[in-house]
Structure 1
């Protein structure tokens, strides 16, 4: 008797869940014990590429396999559902209709759809009405690279806690966008990557983590999430900007923007008054608007302990830093991530007179424990030392000074 034959029958489906569903079904020929093991699979993984052989593909073969698996699968717990259709430059006739008719209820779902034309995109709509779904990852793209609108007939996800959308267009008039938060009453984490944002507001009373990464933006967006504890926004495309409201629970914020030059005032800084860790990535327009925003801000950042600034050019001067120091009496750690030298001014010297104008502001700091400068390998040490010396002269106490190179 081989080792596998001695295993309990109920353990076999868990072993098969590490395989693709096609591979799991093929184990039915091993023995009588394995014949029906795949019908109890807790994980279903369908990948169109598994049926692509020698640059040819039979649509009917995949569709029949999909229907056969779903028709013969025994009712039971479904931990994960994965569907991948990412064969470009092929006019397939694959349909997700057989998936939508079976009433699957997975706890987690991953859907990856990439085609060369929008009209070929096909995704299983059942995932948007799964009452047991807790985690959803949806990746969509076409050859032209534009975000894709999804228009499910129903959106009802009462158990959803985590959603990760890539390449999806979000519009105020779209039913999916309208119900993304309202029909997901326990949604705690939302990740938007390379999405197209045409929404005026992201509003939720329960959302705790929000990530907006490399998204395009057609209109100014208000973020109103009183339970939000972590906010990450990064985009170096021109954006219309964000307005933060009711962010009383926010503790960690990481914001890097390249704003449209016509963008108005930020009104961003005052909503970050409760953060303990703040990271800022400075595009030129974002830096200018931040300086104006914080200089007009009457808020004191009493909880701010760590300030990290990315994309810092020495030619920027220290106005922004001085403003933060003025409004952050208990700041403990300050970190600069320096950019590579500018071609027209490789040393980017900062004059003593410029820093001296801010001596009254900088000298107030009593609690700064660490001053850290992270520099590219190409930046001369002499230039970095000059910056460190100037800051050292005008900050009353620095317990630890660190200069390190990026690898």
Structure 2
């Protein structure tokens, strides 16, 4: 990082750090782009660098930069103790995996509270109780960017942190919420973002509603909305955002949009998933596309197209609006492997058809679906590309496993824990029965099977049984 020039002095060749001529303000600005661990590491370069890191107005603590969480906690505590407290903070980025010690979180909260005069960006991603952090945030009226992502602490991770109704940050332009629950009023509606008058970008990551039927998103300046859903909650979304231009979604499409919520959207990115043996999401996904009257750019994953293909008679145009995507200019399909859950759903939904076809595997892109989407815009550009992620719109979302089983461990917010787990057990048992049925029919018809695939399906059945046993033990523990 440091460039050196060589000069001779009294016959002795020496080297001098070129950065020695730079003023401290320039060096501090340069170090502000590094994570805090690397910035502190510069103190060994020379006496000149020994204390410069203490004046950096940004703090970036990521657990992934450390070999152990113990080392991470020790480093964070030391940095907060040794920094120059007279320096105004601009950015705090704190990301820690695993349950965090309440003492360390209190120390971070106190630091935020005592240095929030000009705090512009604050990001915290932890597992534990962030009750100490929320009061500090409410006083940060200069915040322009805020990310709050909290996983509940405990063995089974039940419940989510309630999002405070009183939080009002008038300067906030970017908001990212992860694993929160929004609590509704007596009328069954919840409108958590109305106080954020400057909000431009909103990310709702695996959040849910509590005792509510309608989630309202009201913002005059909102341009970009990103949602990820991994829960079983079913509710309606009402958007009042005349400037909304981009909508991105990843996960299981359970929610329905009310009225003309998506009428202003021009760019859409959808990476939908579906659990095996669930018939409602395809109809929900179809209704979304019908609401996107003015869409000009659509980016989808193969799983999204597969889910649409499950809709009965979709290729006969019976369910489509005559104005479906008539303004479409660009359609992009970003290829990536199907998740296990969707692959199993394909086998179950198309069971008889695949058996009759001697088990010819379905392609990633189902026949006829692209032509259907392009029916009203035949001149739109079509681009099919290989990628590991669907779009940059999801780069701010933490990756999640494509396995089917963790999704059964995400309790809904509006049900008692025991009832919720019982419903999941019944769902999983039905998937197990259908998988067994598939194996039996395939063997009966003497279809040419790959031995590895047959063994894989039988292993999946064993995994279903083990998962059912685990959830049934959770039901017993919850009752106790």
TM-score class, shorter-chain normalisation, is 0.5 to 0.7
Classify 1:6/1:184 alpha carbon distance in 2 versus 1 (closer, same or farther; 3 Å).
same
Any conservation in 1 of the 2:191–2:218 contact (CA below 8 Å)? no
TM-score, L = length of structure 2: 0.55
- SS of equivalent to 1:191: strand
Asked if 2 retains the 8 angstrom alpha-carbon contact of 1:204 and 1:225, the reply is yes
- Residue 11 of structure 1: which of 23, 26, 33 is its match? 26
**1 CA distance for matches of 2:198 and 2:269?**
24
Displacement of 1:81 after TM fit? 1.2
Which runs of 5 or more residues in structure 1 are unaligned? 284-307, 350-376
Whether 1:275 and 2:295 are equivalent positions in the alignment is: yes
Q: What is the RMSD of the two structures over their aligned residues, measured on CA atoms?
A: 5.0
| Partner in structure 2 of residue 353 of structure 1 | none
- Map 1:130-169; keep pairs closer than 5 Å: 130-142=140-152, 144-146=156-158, 148-150=160-162, 155-169=167-181
Instruction: Tell me the residue number matched to 1:93.
Output: 103
Inter-partner Cα distance in structure 2 for 1:229 and 1:321: 27
Secondary structure of the structure 2 residue equivalent to 1:33: helix
C-alpha contact 1:195 1:214 (8 A) present in aligned 2: yes
Higher deviation after alignment, 123-132 or 59-68: 59-68
Change in 2 beyond 3 A, CA 1:63/1:344: same
CA contact (8 A) 1:141 1:147 kept: no
Aligned counterpart in structure 2 of residue 196 of structure 1, from 185, 198, 208: 208
| Residues 333-387 of structure 1: CA deviation (Å, up to 9, x unaligned) | 77899986733212899xxxxxxxxxxxxxxxxxxxxxxxxxxx94379x95xx5
Q: CA deviation at 1:97?
A: 4.1
* Alpha-carbon offset, residue 168 of structure 1: 1.9
The answer as to whether partners of 1:189 and 1:210 remain within 8 angstroms in 2 is yes
Deviation (angstroms), 1:250: 2.3
Question: Which has the higher mean CA deviation after the structures are superposed, 188-197 or 5-14?
Answer: 5-14
Shift of 1:398: 6.4
- Kindly indicate whether the alpha-carbon contact (under 8 Å) linking 2:329 and 2:381 is maintained by their aligned counterparts in 1: no
> CA 1:51–1:179 in 2, change beyond 3 Å: closer, same or farther?
farther
Match of 1:126 in 2: 136
The 3 A distance-change label for structure 1 pair 262 and 43 is closer
Distance 1:102 1:33 in 2: 28
Say yes or no: does 1:313 pair with 2:304: no
Does the residue aligned with 1:101 lie in a helix, a strand or coil?
helix
Structure 2: runs of 5+ lacking an equivalent: 1-15, 388-480
SS of aligned partner of 1:159: coil
Cα shift at 1:157:
1.7
CA distance in 2, matches of 1:58, 1:379: 47
> Which residue of structure 1 aligns with residue 256 of structure 2?
241
Q: Which has the higher strand share?
A: 1
Q: Deviations over 1:298-329 (max 9, x none)?
A: xxxxxxxxxx9453438844456465473356
Deviation at 1:113, TM superposition (A): 0.8
- Deviation of 1:226 after TM superposition, in Å, equals 2.1
Q: Which protein, 1 or 2, shows the higher relative CO under an 8 Å CA cutoff with sep ≥ 6?
A: 2
| Deviation of 1:186 (Å) | 0.9
Q: Hey, what does 2:122 align to over in structure 1?
A: 109
Structure (1/2) with the larger helix percentage? 2
Q: Distance in 2 between matches of 1:122 and 1:160?
A: 20
* Cα pair distance change 1:179/1:40, threshold 3 Å: farther
